[in-house]
Amino acid sequence: MNIISKKYKLLALVTCALWLPGCSDFLVESDPSNFTEDNYFTKPEHATSSVNAIYANMRVPLASGFNGGAWMMPEFATGLAKTDLGQAVNSYFIKDLRNTSDNGYGQTYWEFYYKGIGNANLSIARIPAITMDETAKKKLLGEAHFLRAFYYFNLVQMFGNIPLITEPVNLESEQLRPKQVAPADIYTQIVADLKTAEQAGLGWVDATGRVSQGAVKSLLAKVYLTMAGYPLQKGSEYYDLAAKKAEEVIDSKQFKLFTTYDDLHNPSKKNIEENIFMVQFRTGIIPSPLQTSIIPYNKNISAYADETGGLYSTDEFVKSYDANDLRAKEKQFFFTKFTNESNRNQEVALGGYFIYKHFDNVAQTTSANSDLNWSVLRYADVLLIYAEASNEVSGPTAKAYEAVNAIRTRAQLTALSGISKDVFREAVWTERWHELCFENITWFDMVRLRKAFNVTTKKFENYVGHKFSYGPVVGERELLFPIPTTELRNNTNLVPTPGY
């Protein structure tokens, strides 16, 4: 395999600024390049910096520019996104259901998420031998197990049969060119890692952005929900596990919905309240690269020099919202007009529904240096996981209504009540589509449910055979993204994804 055939390199130097306030002392080294895996793991600071390195690869898919960005891959696969960025061919291949294993977006996810796994394996293997405070050590190992689970959870959903590597790999390792395993084996490892993280003594909330107990239990709820559906189809038992784990997060009273959608893109709200776990960015140090990709193409509204029009919503999706839904109103989740960059008194019509829920107003209008994080797990998702999973077990209970209606009330929609299990199920799915759109969630829901939302009828239909509003029809092969050509070439033990 191309990725694991190289020696793992510690990436702490770029992550210390975000997660280790005391990192400056550690960085004063006469010759850091002399570190090796064998002599590095000797001090508590080494343990912390090695775990910091695991986080770093979460940021890579969010890099965006005139070639698009890997984070767009699961968005275009929903059929709910448009682009004006003609040279971003990888976007069009996915959007038009003509994807190939040469797509650079898939290569980015595979390469850098496996690098994250490699760094996690190294930390998990080496930190136990370091002499340090045992409580701190346990927490660091908990973070490493969570992050390994995060990377594997995304990879197994995207690519299906993938290699499972849980030990550091070098040029002499038997797993230098590993074979794939069944998804069930990957999920077994994911659950084991998350259960280990649950016992690590992490706090419920971590405002610095490190892994918290809230993040661990929220991700475990999502994993159980996915295992209940396709491809494992574990059913009622796992819906029950998902509901109970989400309920633990709800009952902790540590999280709450924002009162305004503006807080979804308010830098002062990073890592608190609704934001359970996020990919970390910091203006002036590692600013978020996402902003240029969500700006309308060359409309001269932004302080950024590049306005790529990389990704925005189809008209049909926005029009599928209820007429009274606040989320579809101007400058809530979407925007259709903005002021001119050189004259803020002049309004510019944008010609489409662009994504406002990720819009950094300060960066866009003045600094061109974004301080926004990227949300991975937020409380709205947990509420909807609970509502869906508990309904599958025992129908729509009072607490399930309370969970979904919290989302609907904020959207200024009427509360659900007195409906059947089947109607409640699709009502919750609709809220997931409308609440969690453009957060790298919807395509994963489509695959685990084998369902797609018809934006015209506002009903759910089979995923395979679903026709996008602009024409293409989903086939069986679109249940997965293809294992990248580069990986197939460098590891002949890998079997190509069916259909590619």
The angle, 0 to 180 degrees and rounded to 10, between the axes of the packed helices 213-228 and 236-251 is 160
Tokens 């045992």 found at: 134
State pLDDT tens for residues 68-92.
Answer: 999 999 999 999 999 999 999 999 9
For residues 239-245, give the mean pLDDT.
98
pLDDT at 15 over 50: no
Residue 156 above 70 pLDDT? yes
Indicate the SS3 state at residue 266.
coil
| Total Cβ atoms within 10 A of residue 319 | 15
Q: Kindly report the backbone phi and psi dihedral angles of residue 276, in degrees, each rounded to the nearest multiple of 5, phi listed first.
A: -80, -45
Closest CA to 144 of 162, 115, 104, 117: 117
What's the distance, Cα to Cα, between the start and end of the chain in Å? 19
pTM: 0.93
The angle formed by the CA atoms of residues 12, 18 and 22, to the nearest 5 degrees, is 75
Residue count of the chain: 500
pLDDT above 60 (res 26): no
459 forms beta bridges with 454
- Interval 449-476 mean pLDDT: 98
3-class DSSP assignment, residue 429 = helix
Query: Which two three-digit tokens encode residue 432?
Result: 């997931």
* HEC sequence for 349-396: EEEEEEECCCCCHHHHHHHCCECCCEEEEEHHHHHHHHHHHHHHHHCC
3-state SS assignment for residue 392: helix
Instruction: Give the C-alpha separation, 66 to 310, whole Å.
Output: 8
**Which tens digit of pLDDT belongs to each residue from 291-341?**
999 999 999 999 999 999 999 999 999 999 999 999 999 999 999 999 999
Tell me the sheet residues that pair with 278: 375
467 exposed, middle or buried (CB, 10 Å; 0-12, 13-18, 19+)?
Answer: middle
Alpha-carbon distance of 72 to 83, in angstroms, equals 10
- Domains observed in the chain: 1-201+470-500 (1.25.40.390), 281-372 (no CATH)
Single-letter amino acid code for the residue at 380: A
pLDDT class of 4 with cuts at 50, 70, 90: very low
* Overall average pLDDT of the 425-449 stretch: 98
